Amino acid sequence: MHDIHFHTNLSSCAKRESSLKVMLKHLKESGVTTAGVANHTWDSKVPGASAWYAPQNVEHVLSVKEEYKALSEEERCGIKLYFGCETEYVGQGRVALKRESARLFDFVLVPAHHFHMKNFVCPVELEDAPGIRRLLLARFYECCNIDFAFGIAHPFVVSTAGRLDEVISGISDREFASAFSCAAEKNKSIEINISALYQKAASDTDGLPAEYVRFFTIARECGCKFHLGSDAHEVSRLAPERFAFAQKFAARCGIQLPDDPLK
């Protein structure tokens, strides 16, 4: 099993005890054999970083390689580790990573909808479901056009202000099919974000969230490739039952997960 979207304490929003060493230990305990670290990154060469993003530049994020070098074989847990990042997309084609910097990473994940960053990623006045829906779709298409993006982090499932069903259910099968066909054509990997999925399942009565099953099944039918991402910022998000749940969800959608999505 793999997990190519976990954070370490190099991300400002991660728990301070979430060192690479600790995260690898818990990944191993959950049966993960291929992992990818993907900390939040804003390239200093790209103007416009928020105060929160500014210290989390390429050099900062790549320092995880030094951390890895200092680990013993035993501490590396036999896990194949890729060094990636989760950058930012703020609309109008503005991605927080230069192409030449993207080459320094094994893979780049682009989040299309960090809409909780109001007045930065998301217009402050955007509150209505149809408006959010339109922007979700538009940003998804735009991210598919970022040539160095390996995959789209947590597509359609974050930052809908507790109104996910209302927002997502208003996107028709046809609209999803068109968006995911674009992703397939551009060879962008669609993330099964375990944190978002698990959180949603906990509040749902149908076990496997129906709206998620609907659009991930459409993505599979469109020929998309997929990867798993715990999006863990702390070890509790790496619990074995979460990965087991994600595998059950993927199977329900007819998705076959690769051992190593980056190979």
Q: Which residue is nearest to Zn ion (CB)?
A: 111
Taking contact as CB under 5 A, which single stretch among the options 57-65, 153-161, 169-177, 234-242 is the one that binds Zn ion? 153-161
With beta carbons less than 8 A apart as the criterion, state whether 35 and 81 touch: yes
With beta carbons less than 8 A apart as the criterion, state whether 31 and 243 touch: yes
Residue 167 or residue 172: which is nearer to Zn ion going by CB?
Answer: 167
In this structure, is the dihedral angle defined by the CA atoms of residues 115, 118, 120 and 126, taken in order, positive or negative?
A: positive
- Identity of residue 259: D
Least CB distance to Zn ion at residue 42 (A): 13
| Contact flag: residue 111 with Zn ion (CB under 5 A) | yes
State in Å, rounded, how far the first CA of the chain is from the last one: 13
- Identity of residue 56: Q
Taking contact as CB under 5 A, which single stretch among the options 13-21, 98-106, 107-115, 184-192 is the one that binds Zn ion? 107-115
| Contact flag: residue 88 with Zn ion (CB under 5 A) | no
| Contact flag: residue 234 with Zn ion (CB under 5 A) | no
| Contact flag: residue 86 with Zn ion (CB under 5 A) | yes
| Contact flag: residue 231 with Zn ion (CB under 5 A) | yes
Residue 196 or residue 218: which is nearer to Zn ion going by CB?
Answer: 196
Least CB distance to Zn ion at residue 115 (A): 11
- Residues whose CB falls within 8 Å of the CB of residue 81, separated by 6 or more in sequence, listed in order: 24, 35, 36, 37, 68
Query: Which residues are at the interface with Zn ion (CB under 5 A)?
Result: 86, 111, 153, 231
